[in-house]
Structure 1
Amino acid sequence: MPQPEKPLDPGSSPQEWFGYELRLRRKAEGLSARALGRLVQVSDDMILSVEKGQYPSCQREVAQRLDEVLRTGGVFDRSWPMVFGRRDADKKPADADKRSGGRRKATVQVREGRILGRDEVSPRPGSQESVDRRVFLHVSGLAAIAPVDLAQAFAPSGLTLPESIGARDVDQVQEVAAAVSGWDNKYGGGGMVGDVAGRAMQWAAGLLQTRCPEHLRSDLFAAVSRLGIVVGASAFDFYNHDYATKTFTFAADCAEEAGDWHLRAKSYSFLARQAVWIGRPDDGLTYAEKGLVRSDRLTATERAMLHTARARAFGKLGNVRDCMAAVGEADEAFAQARPADDPPWMAYYDEAQHNGDTAHALFDLAILAGQDPGRAARRFATAVKGHSDAFKRSRAISRTKLAALIMAKGDPRQAAVIGHDALDEAGRLTSRRAADDLRQLGAFAGKHPAVGEAQALRERIAATVSV
């Protein structure tokens, strides 16, 4: 039986007024919360939370899309600063001081976006205003990286930004992106990898300030976008989340300037995965839906990647129906994948990656919603078997999650055997994500105090992974 709707008092608070207006206008259009969520690219849970006045910080972009879909003439956008903006405004001065550090700021001259046809770059969920990209662009004393030998990044460099961009400069950005990606997948995002990645991003962003022939402009923006995705992934893995979000958003902007739908999709895929990881599944769903805009221009593999991100968001929300539907859509897209159609950097998304990513969504359903753990276990096992040494982090994480699933829902002794193998591999990585998964495994092992094998694994995890 449906739950009665919460009565709303539009005079009690700005949030309740906003929710009251949203519910009134949604019903006037004959839309369910689910249907409106699909049109606005958020979940139905978020729509209902906003309507109840219980959603703490609706993003302005969502308010603008509500105006467009519900044909309000701008009511929600105009009211957004009063309802939700004050909290963000209170944060801006401290954040701005932290970003600037008293140094001269530079800007990227960005013309009309080639994909969305913008007159200016609009803020995206998780970002501040477009000026925040300046965090990358302080080029005074910039240390550039020679991709021929990335170890030189740790020594004083005599290289400077070129006076004009040439084809070799674009090639260098691509080479650095490939190298950092390889290191990140093999060793994790911390330590030397994170240091190199940060310097690489600063150098590449500085190239966007350099005079560039028109025929190389799109290639340059695409190369910097690709590097931004790689650097953001490294920062995400090491829990430098603010920097990761800004870098992914910067990468999405560069992809749009390059007119590259594939890089745009990848940027939003990572933004979605990160948002889910840090406990913002509604934002993750929004990012994934944004990535799927004009999905006809994406490859089947890319569509599978984004549907998997949707599944992981729904899994964290405990939404069994939509999570299973999204997994099905991801599987269907992946079944149509033709690697020859994919950009070279999508080669990582193979059968092992697809199974591991979808298994994460099914893992949450098993743990949070009591669903069959066998579905996730089989996919994790396929991922572990399929990942090569080039993807040690992914293999270690899938193995750890498989052990955690069995420890929570199956035989703790079997889980302990798998867990020791996972610890052998993950313990050598500089990945905070891998470390957190090991801590979760240890917590599940702690629920079996009478099983010696489980307690031995728990003690080994505690001794290996710092709190």
Structure 2
Amino acid sequence: MPQPEKELNPDASPPEWFGAELRYWRKRQPGLTAAQLGPMVQVSPSVISKIEKGVYRCSRDLAERLDVVLGTGGVLFRAWGMVFGDADKKRDDADSARRRPAEGAIQVPQGRMLDRETSAQLPGSLSSVDRRAFLAATSLGAIAPIDLAHLVAPTAPPELPKRIRPTELEQLRHIADGIHRWDNAQGGGGLVGDFASRSMEWAVRLLSIDCPARLRSELLAGVARLGIVAGATHFDAYAHDEARIAFKIASECAEEAGDWWLRAQTFSFLARQAIWIGDPDEGLTYAEKGLVRSDRLTPTIQATLHSARARAFGKMHDVQGTLAAVGAADDVFAHSNPTEDPAWMHYYDEAQHHGDTAHALWDLAIHADQDPGRAAERFATAVAGHGDNYARSRGISATKLASLVMAKGDPTQAIAIGHQALNDVGRLTSRRAVDDLKELRRFAGHHRKLDEAAHLRQRITTTLQA
């Protein structure tokens, strides 16, 4: 028998009041548990329970997703601004401007709701129901200009079909392809990431819909594919928790569908994310898991996993392990045949392969005093081979090449390459690309006597501030 949920005290503190509001709206969805709600908004089930108890700080983006899933009309997002907004130091100036009431506006005093010192409710103070009505009816609109975005934003999640049809499977494919294109051309931030989140929430809901047995595997594969591209988008924007959840959902769906190709691709991305955030050992483990039953994988898919292994060894500064993994990746990629690969693997072409393996060799050149020429040659091949549809990959490879040459070669040549990279990276919304630019700026700082290096550093700074 399930344990009864803990009774909440909404007057104890602002976070606990927010948690009580979340539970109120969740309970309006009959039978919806905190454990079920978590995956629907791309967080772990325990996070919802902790927010409801007031012991976990809800993020701004999560509040927006909860509004969409629970159909609150934006109540939780507006409540988030009142409860947590003041703690966001980055918005202090903007918050101060918003808090100055416009002429003729209603002035709302800070009442006991925002007082952390006592849980007692003063006579005449707003009850939870009154607060909810205030948020739903007037809220910040009383003291700030009307936000037109709320007038056009959906107040409820998209209506779901009563039964899965081929139409939904086609939509899954088109959405995944679209996110993949936008992510590679523009980066994973901004609208691309937001659309990926909303699409993933819709896809996860599809899993609970009645589905004919003949379509079940295809549905699972479709959600897995979308989970991979959504996770990759969040990874690029450094929304790592969201990325990890999307990848895990993709992995489970691929396993249940019996799709070894999608399973391997999921582990490839989990490996890359772990390596990027500083855990190459975990990344190596993921890559090895992806290579289980490699006889069932195409050479191209095998190459992605061996490239991930190489990047893990590179971060560990393991020269022999890196070179062996790069060699293994090259060997299997030499047998790559696009006609044998699923359509979603076509991005992994010669340019992508050279860029991926070059990253591993870059670490050896910078940190293990190995020949920089091997990495430089591969990065140059990647830059030349990537078209505008893969502007992010081209920009990142060019940035890493510029850093490598700046550190180990001719700084004048590196400066020219760096300016070329900025032409791509300056248009992206990619946190990974931003970090690589900061790295290039540090390397350029080693050549302070060169006016051209100072100019490149200034251009990088201007680009990062734009």
Q: State the TM-score, normalizing by the size of structure 1.
A: 0.69
Cα offset for 1:249?
1.1
Question: Displacement, 1:361?
Answer: 0.3
CA-CA distance at 1:375 after TM superposition: 0.2
Separation in structure 1 between the aligned mates of residue 48 and residue 171 of structure 2, nearest angstrom: 22
From 86, 105, 121, the equivalent of 2:33 is 105
Q: Which has the larger radius of gyration?
A: 2
- Relative distance call for 1:101 and 1:327 in structure 2 (3 A) is farther
1:303 equivalent in structure 2: 302
In the alignment, which residue of structure 1 is the partner of 2:375?
A: 376
Q: What is the rounded CA distance, in whole Å, between the counterparts of 1:370 and 1:142 in structure 2?
A: 57
Deviation at 1:318, TM superposition (A): 0.2
Question: Residue 293 of structure 1 corresponds to which residue in structure 2?
Answer: 292
Q: Aligned partners of 2:207, 2:360: CA distance in 1, in Å? A: 38
Q: Does 1:141 align with 2:71?
A: yes
Mapped partners of 2:200, 2:48: distance in 1: 11
Asked if structure 2 preserves the Cα contact closer than 8 Å seen for 1:142 and 1:160, the reply is no
- Counterparts of 2:224 and 2:465 in 1: how far apart (Å)? 34
**CA 1:247/1:445 → structure 2, altered by over 3 Å: closer, same or farther?**
same
The Cα shift of 1:323 comes to 0.4
Aligned to 2:95: none
SS of structure 2 residue aligned to 1:465: helix
> CA, structure 1 residues 128+179, in 2 after alignment: closer, same or farther (shift >3 Å)?
closer
Q: Is the 8 A contact 2:302 2:332 kept in 1?
A: yes
Deviation string, structure 1 residues 155-189 (Cα, Å, up to 9, x no partner): 42784011111111111111110111111111000
Partner residue in 2 for 1:182 = 181
Residue 208 of structure 1 aligns with an amino acid whose one-letter code is: L
2:451 aligned partner, one-letter code: G
Task: Give the counterpart letter for 2:71 in structure 1.
Answer: G
Give the aligned residue type for 1:410: G
CA RMSD, Structure 1 to Structure 2 (Å): 2.7
CA contact (8 A) 1:133 1:246 kept: no
In 2: Cα distance, 1:130 partner to 1:296 partner: 36
Please list, as runs of the form range in 1=range in 2, the aligned pairs for 1:85-124 lying within 5 A after superposition. Answer: 102=23, 103=26, 104-105=32-33
Once residues 22 and 242 of structure 2 are traced to their aligned partners in structure 1, the CA distance between those partners, rounded to angstroms, is 15
Cα deviation for residue 139 of structure 1 reads 4.8
Q: Which residue of 1 aligns with 2:215?
A: 216
Aligned counterpart, 1:171: 170
Q: What is residue 401 of structure 2 aligned with on the other side?
A: 402
Q: Distance in 1 between the 2:450 and 2:376 partners? A: 21
- Unaligned stretches of 5+ residues in structure 1: 1-93, 109-126, 144-153
Tell whether 2:443 aligns with 1:440. no
- In structure 2, the partner of 1:350 is 349
Structure 1 contact 142–202 (Cα < 8 Å) conserved: no
Rounded Cα–Cα distance in structure 2 between residues aligned with 1:204 and 1:212 = 13
Q: Distance in 2 between matches of 1:133 and 1:349?
A: 38
Output the CA distance in 2 between the equivalents of 1:427 and 1:347: 26
Change (3 A) 1:133 1:422: farther
Residues in 1 aligned to 2:459 and 2:378: alpha-carbon distance in whole angstroms: 26
Amino acid in structure 1 at the alignment position of 2:280: P
8 A Cα contact 2:180 2:229, kept in partner: yes
Checking the alignment, whether the CA contact within 8 Å between 2:364 and 2:370 is kept in structure 1 is yes
1:410-434 deviation per Cα after TM superposition (whole angstroms, max 9, x unaligned): 0111100110111121011000100
Partners of 2:350 and 2:307 lie apart in 1 by 13
Distance 1:395 1:129 in 2: 34
Q: Secondary structure at 1:450's aligned position in 2?
A: coil
- Secondary structure of 2:163's match? coil
Q: Which amino acid aligns with 2:425?
A: A
Residues in 2 aligned to 1:328 and 1:297: alpha-carbon distance in whole angstroms: 21
Residues 1:331 and 2:330 aligned together: yes
TM-score, length basis structure 2: 0.70
CA deviation after TM superposition for structure 1 residue 128, in Å: 10
Identical counterparts, % of pairs? 58
Question: In the TM superposition, what whole-angstrom CA distance separates every residue of 1:382-417 from its partner, at most 9, and x where no partner exists?
Answer: 000000111000000001111010001001111001
* Structure 2: 5+ residue stretches without partners: 1-14, 27-31, 37-41, 50-61, 74-151
Indicate conservation of the 8 Å contact 2:236/2:431, yes or no.
yes
**2:162 aligned counterpart, secondary structure:** coil
CA distance in 1, matches of 2:162, 2:35: 17
**2: CA distance between counterparts of 1:313 and 1:205?**
31
2:191 aligns to what?
A: 192
Q: Contact 2:43–2:242 (CA<8 Å) still a contact in 1?
A: no
How big is each residue's C-alpha offset from its partner over 1:357-377, in whole Å with a ceiling of 9 and x where there is no partner? 000000000011010000000
Aligned to 1:449: 448
Per-residue deviation, 1:445: 0.2
Distance 2:34 2:296 in 1: 34
- Cα–Cα, structure 1 residues 106 and 169, in superposed 2: closer, same or farther, change >3 Å? farther
Count of residue pairs brought into register by the alignment:
343
Partner Cα distance (1:332, 1:443) in 2: 35
Counterpart position of 2:103: none
User: In the alignment, is the contact (CA less than 8 A) between 2:271 and 2:286 conserved in 1?
Assistant: yes
Kindly indicate whether the alpha-carbon contact (under 8 Å) linking 2:287 and 2:305 is maintained by their aligned counterparts in 1.
yes
